[in-house]
Amino acid sequence: MQLNYIANASLPSSSGRTIAMLDPSDGQPFDEIQRSNASDIDFAVRAARQSLEAVWRKFSPAERGRLLMRLSLKVTEHAEELALIEQRDCGKPTRQALADAAALARYFEFYAGACDKLHGETIPYQDGYSVLTWREPHGVTGHIIPWNYPMQIFGRSVGGALAAGNVCVIKPAEDACLSLLRVAQLAAEVGFPAGAINIVTGYGHEVGDALARHPGIDHISFTGSPSVGTLISQVAAQRHCPVTLELGGKSPQIVFADADLDAAVPAIINGIVQNAGQTCSAGSRLLVDHVIYESLLERLGHEFEKLRVGPATLDLDLGPLIRQSQQQRVWDFLSDAQVANIEMVAQGKVVDEAPQTGFYQAPTLLRDVPAMHRLAQEEVFGPVLVAMSFRDEDHAVELANATPFGLVAGVWTAEGARQFRMARRVRSGQVFINNYGAGGGVELPFGGVKSSGHGREKGFEALHGFTTLKTVAIKHG
């Protein structure tokens, strides 16, 4: 049975209750986590505050950096162990789980190097004054983490917050906590002081809500659904607590007739099958120049038919979805497609070895999806790619911007001027030209506009969000 991790100690919840963890590959229970409550959150926030005031504030930026670097190396040493845990917990194929552990180590490495490079400014002002700015940590930051990439999202949000001098209380998704509980132990082993990293598990509406409401939380980083993002914002607004929201997307892959399709096709496939489509930045809408629409769909159809889905340890193109309700969500979208007579171009296959009780879904390519249909508007969060054609550049921009979201866009074209025009005209936090995701580099700031959220994580930019600016004006005559 797994325990909470608070002040460098493994502790049961005061509720005395637990939640069973299911392996998505076979749907069977294999472990239990604590079903924590508001008093566990209160205990963790107090431990964090005490650590901040008594210990963590006294660490120099260089000392924080050294600790983060030690944690990065420790995570690399334990990468296989962490990947195995995450694989069982989240159904990730082996390569994805290992990539996530590597990304976690890389986040700590990047933020280790950033700690002592974050500085304020001096500002020229009236005669007789000296003015300077300091970047100060918020204090105790709260982190609500989704189930799709627990290690990666922990790395980018907790790594950045610690680098900036905050201490952290973390609420992982109840479906995906196990790797993070282990990382918190590793952090204690490399010397993080008690209370710097605290993990409290449980249901979102119980323990997540208690975290967001706690008056001792000075900043909230939330990654998840738009609807819960709204709840978090409302709760935080009651006490004017700053919030960073990363709420997913309905990101377009925009393919012009002059695109290098040998480069585009594998990136389009990977953009929707990675992590079985359960990726906030999934390229889930395919917008194609009408001139190449039929030929590209035919080519993609052949590729989709080759895709294989199965248990995480078989390391196929896709593993299972996280849980039964997510599988049901994808089925609901696909049955809506049938009702609307939306044509399926092709589907991959679930392999025979996949247990019936696992949460599998074959990747599916749909065509001529009306731009206003919910399949083209809402996040499916599964391996479903919806295709539509455009007449010209203006039409491509209109379609690209025609959802409530604005997270990522991929643009495929050889023409330099069009690359820049498209990058300017598409409303999203990131635009990738002739690539999709740029390999996920931790250096690259990441976040959304519109319903995809606000604030930026990753890169150096995240440190601005995890600090507040203090202006100091000295009158010296």
Minimum distance, C-beta of residue 257 to ligand NAP, in the bound complex (Å) = 32
For the question of residue 280 being annotated catalytic, the response is yes
- What, of Mg ion, ligand NAP, none, does residue 280 touch, CB below 5 to 8 Å by kind? ligand NAP
Position among 175, 206, 289, 379 found at the interface with Mg ion (CB under 5 A): 175
Would residue 248 be called left, alpha or beta, if left means φ above 0 and alpha means ψ between -120 and 50 degrees?
A: left
User: Of residues 86, 174, 206, 246, which has the active-site annotation?
Assistant: 246
Q: Which of 162, 247, 254, 259 binds ligand NAP (CB under 6 A)?
A: 247
* Residue 423 binds ligand NAP, judged by CB under 6 A: no
Cβ neighbours, 10 Å, residue 249: 31
Query: Which tokens hold the place of 126?
Result: 């009236």
CB of 149 to ligand NAP, least distance (A): 7
The answer to whether 61 and 45 have CB atoms below 8 angstroms apart is: no
Sheet architecture: strand order including 243-246: 9-11, 4-6, 197-199, 167-171, 140-144, 219-223, 243-246, 453-454
Query: Cβ distance 470 to 134 under 8 Å?
Result: yes
User: CA geometry: angle at 13 spanning 7 and 15, to 5°?
Assistant: 150
Number of residues this chain uses to bind ligand NAP (CB under 6 A): 26
Count Cα neighbours of 375 within 13 Å in the Cβ-side half-sphere. 29
| 150 belongs to the binding site for ligand NAP (CB under 6 A) | no
246 is catalytic: yes
CB of 286 to ligand NAP, least distance (A): 19
Minimum CB separation of residue 279 from ligand NAP in Å reads 7
Residue 9, H or E segment: strand 9-11
Pick the piece of the chain touching ligand NAP (CB under 6 A) from 129-137, 159-167, 205-213, 297-305.
Answer: 205-213
Catalytic-labelled residue, pool 280, 378, 379, 457: 280
Asked if 413 interacts with ligand NAP (CB under 6 A), we say no
Residue 225 interacting with ligand NAP (CB under 6 A) = yes
Q: Out of 163, 181, 199, 212, which residue is the one contacting ligand NAP (CB under 6 A)? A: 212
Q: Which amino acid is at 314?
A: L
Contact 254, 409 (CB under 8 A): yes
The conformation of residue 7, written as its DSSP 8-state character, comes to T
How many residues can be counted in the chain?
A: 477
From residue 173 to residue 202, the character string flagging contacts with ligand NAP as x (rule: CB under 6 A) and all else as - is xx----------------------------
Residue 223 lies near ligand NAP (rule: CB under 6 A): yes
Active site residues: 246, 280
Q: Give contact residues for Mg ion (rule: CB under 5 A).
A: 21, 89, 175-176
